[in-house]
Amino acid sequence: MRTVVTVILLLIVASFAVLPTGIAAPPVTLTESQNSFLQSQDFVAGRVLADESHVDRGSDMWTPGNASLFGWLLEEYGYNVSNNWDTPLDSGILADYDVLSLFFPMVPLTSGEVDAVHSFVDSGGGLLLVGIDYTTAGWEYTPANLNPIGETYGITFALDTLQGRSLRSSGEIVNHSVTQNVTSLHSSADQMRGCSLVVVSPATTLATITGKAFLAVSESGAGRVVAVGGPAPFLRYRQDRLQVSPNDHFQLTLNIVDWLAGNAPRLVNPPEKAVIKVGPGPALNSTQLEEYVIFNGAIHDHTVYSDGEDTPEDMVIASLKAALDFFVISDHIHMNVGTEGIYGALAARSYTDAYGLDCSIIVGAELSSIPHTVGFPLTQNIYANVIQNGIDAIHAQGGIASLSHPTMDASYIQVWEDFVTYGYDAFEVVNDGFFHGLGESCYFRSFIGASDGHQAASVGLVRNAVFVKNPTGPNGTISGADLADAVVNRRLVSIDLHNGVIFGQGIWVNRYLALWTQAENAIADARTEIEAVEETGTSVGLSRMYLEKAETALDWWNPSRALDAATDAMSENILDLDLAPTEPNLGVTSPNSDVTLTIRLTNRHDHGVQLNGTVFHSTSLIFDQASRQILAGPNSTKTTDFAGTTTDFGYVRALLNLRSLNITEKPGALILEMGGVVSNVSFKTTNAVDGIDVSIKLLMRRADSLWIASAQIVYDDDTGEHTADLVNLGDGYSITLGPYIGTLNFTFQIVVGDVLGNTFLIDGGTHEIGGTTGTTWPVVLVIAGGLGAVAVIIVLFALRRRR
């Protein structure tokens, strides 16, 4: 019987775990937060019971236990958190705990359970009661079943809805141990809100929202009670703009449990990574564990083939920048036959295949005429408006069916309740950073972390590290069948960069974290080795590029890719090569002008080397030949040119895929990204009521704003030098200055910074104001027209990459 699952983390001495044969116990390392309570002589490590034995209508999806950020924080600060799924509270179970958390029970407590809770409190126990907004449609949740307990302590949960924030600055938060260092709290938890509290003696209100009580405390016998009107403070932590301080809800949570357990308040400082383990996972020794290859990728993203904002090509480029090993694109598909479903993924796969890009595209689709269900891998579209038919059709293609965002709305309640009956293979424990209280279900159900991205900018923010034995994809890559098998068997770590969560079974989480440490060490070693070689005056540009790839991969929480790239960086064969563009960027160019991107390869080997360079993406620049062999003979240097022509205007961007280097190690592919600007600037003077206005515009395409970090004008209007930001109007970056009276000289420069760290300077020359008005001066000419000013185009400062 599933009665209680307990997660025991670090106590005052150490954490003892049963380890598989052959794996030695690691040394105990304390985090800063754990040290903080060890240094407190008064701290008592309490035991917290999260009750889920009174859930119904999917309320377990909103009830956090030990597999949540709520439980993780408490464990970080010395508490042991356990889940109770089906043991009655009057069974004697409470005798083993110091604090009970009870979130809006949908199944009423029996009279015996109510009496047991009262006895627990009077005997010194701490009780956390959390309400919910009262609804008679949709979710149909109620806080009413808390009242047989709360009213004894002077707290009644009202049958209403309370939405908003409580701010200390507005006097809505009262000083108390529970509210110490808390500047705000709120009641908005995605679909859920809160209810107000009716507070009478002996209870005390500590926080109000819109004038109504939302947080209250009470004491009875030797025990203490905290009541909160809604679950938001225990669900919404990091991906939350409503908190004044980003740690307000963390601080409130810790304060509450510290007070309930009789501990002194502590200042919260949660670690960046929230490591949450749902059971130990399979018993594998170190040799067996090494047989699994780790792949890190994203599942469930959309393109313009359904409701996404970006093309399959743009999404693939984003996947490369986010260091993904695999990418499941799953556009919506409804009952209407058209371009939805698998077509976006197929287009993405054709793109990666054509250019040999280093990311495996797995074809999927999100069936959306039923409660949204992602299926992968798929070979053809599925049109279904009946849940069972859709799941069966996915299985018929050899795919797996994953329930999307089960907390999206109340229509998912019935699907969640009948999850096993329908034959779902997995569900999304996190969707686009929405984590809620779904973690505890992962003890019993397979899960994924879902990106659910609809634009390139969100690719990789939620991802999964999966463990595959004998990968079946081309050249040892992951196949769709490999991924499906890993998901079903829970050989997966869900990674949520929004919340800093690393989530999965213990053995896979530990393996992932061990790889992270290895990657950090390898990067440090590679940096040291590269710097030592460079100190001798030897340039090792190719090793630098691999080091940068490793650092970027770790920034994106892909330690296995980072480790591989750092290893490549230290290869003797690669250290004996120097590869780099001859210029740090593509510079400032005139419209419709010739541009040459030159790659220099220095080979210090006694044999010739070559690799393939392919331009797989460019904007405002058309290359004559996209693919070239970059080569150099023994002990020689050779350059390879990629020639092209710019368009009329815009940000210039070129992405090269560098791969197939013919050395023994077969290192991974590299992406070289270059930026530039086509100088197409208009200068216009117009008569205004009070003088003459000057309008200046740098023409750009709307999409170019993704790559422009800043655009400013530096000008002198005979009153000294001034700087102002240009405004992005969609068709360019513009500004209007003035009005000016009389005759003056106007000198200006435009400074453009891009996201790669490049800075481009366009010298606009000097113009006499006060003569002819309403003219446009084409700065794009090397010798400008109009007033005959000379426009010199230069690059002020350039860096290929900024980290």
Residue 240 pLDDT class (50, 70, 90 cuts): confident
- Tell me the C-alpha to C-alpha distance, in Å, between residue 517 and each of 236, 529, 562, 616: 29, 18, 11, 33
Q: What are phi and psi of 662, to 5 degrees?
A: -90, 65
What is residue 337's predicted lDDT score, i.e. its pLDDT? 87
In this predicted model, what pLDDT tens digit does every residue of 120-146 receive, in sequence order? Answer: 999 999 999 999 999 999 999 999 999
In this predicted model, what pLDDT tens digit does every residue of 498-537 receive, in sequence order? Answer: 999 999 999 999 999 999 999 999 999 999 999 999 999 9
Does the pLDDT of residue 34 top 90, yes or no?
A: no
Going by C-alpha positions, the residue among 351, 344, 288, 299 that lies closest to residue 325 is 299
**Beta strands in 121-240, from DSSP E residues, in sequence order:** 126-130, 155-157, 165-167, 184-186, 197-199, 204-209, 212-220, 223-228
DSSP character for 787?
T
Tokens of 694: 């000057």
Q: What is the mean pLDDT of residues 115-124?
A: 98
The number of beta carbons lying within 10 Å of the beta carbon of residue 754 is: 25
Does the pLDDT of residue 802 top 60, yes or no?
A: no
Sequence letter at residue 506: G
- Cβ atoms of 136 and 84 within 8 Å: the answer is no
The CATH class for the domain spanning 4-271 reads: alpha beta
What is residue 771's predicted lDDT score, i.e. its pLDDT? 61
- Higher per-residue confidence, 780 vs 73: 73
- CA atoms of 232 and 130, how far apart (whole Å): 10
- Tell me the C-alpha to C-alpha distance, in Å, between residue 172 and each of 155, 522, 547, 671: 18, 51, 51, 53
CATH 3.20.20.140 fits 286-504, yes or no: yes
In this predicted model, what pLDDT tens digit does every residue of 383-441 receive, in sequence order? Answer: 999 999 999 999 999 999 999 999 999 999 999 999 999 999 999 999 999 999 999 99
Residues β-bridged to residue 36: none
Q: What are phi and psi of 620, to 5 degrees?
A: 60, 20
What is residue 220's predicted lDDT score, i.e. its pLDDT? 98
Does the pLDDT of residue 795 top 60, yes or no?
A: no
672 contact partners, CB below 8 Å, separation of at least 6: 545, 581, 599, 613, 655, 656, 658
Q: What is the mean pLDDT of residues 180-194?
A: 97
Q: What is the mean pLDDT of the chain?
A: 92
528 contact partners, CB below 8 Å, separation of at least 6: none
The SS3 of residue 439 is helix
| Largest pairwise CA distance in the chain | 94
Domain 577-677, CATH: 2.60.40.10
What is residue 129's predicted lDDT score, i.e. its pLDDT? 99
What is residue 787's predicted lDDT score, i.e. its pLDDT? 26
- CA atoms of 53 and 48, how far apart (whole Å): 15
The CATH class for the domain spanning 679-797 reads: mainly beta
Q: What is the mean pLDDT of residues 316-331?
A: 98
For the chain, percent of residues with pLDDT exceeding 70: 91
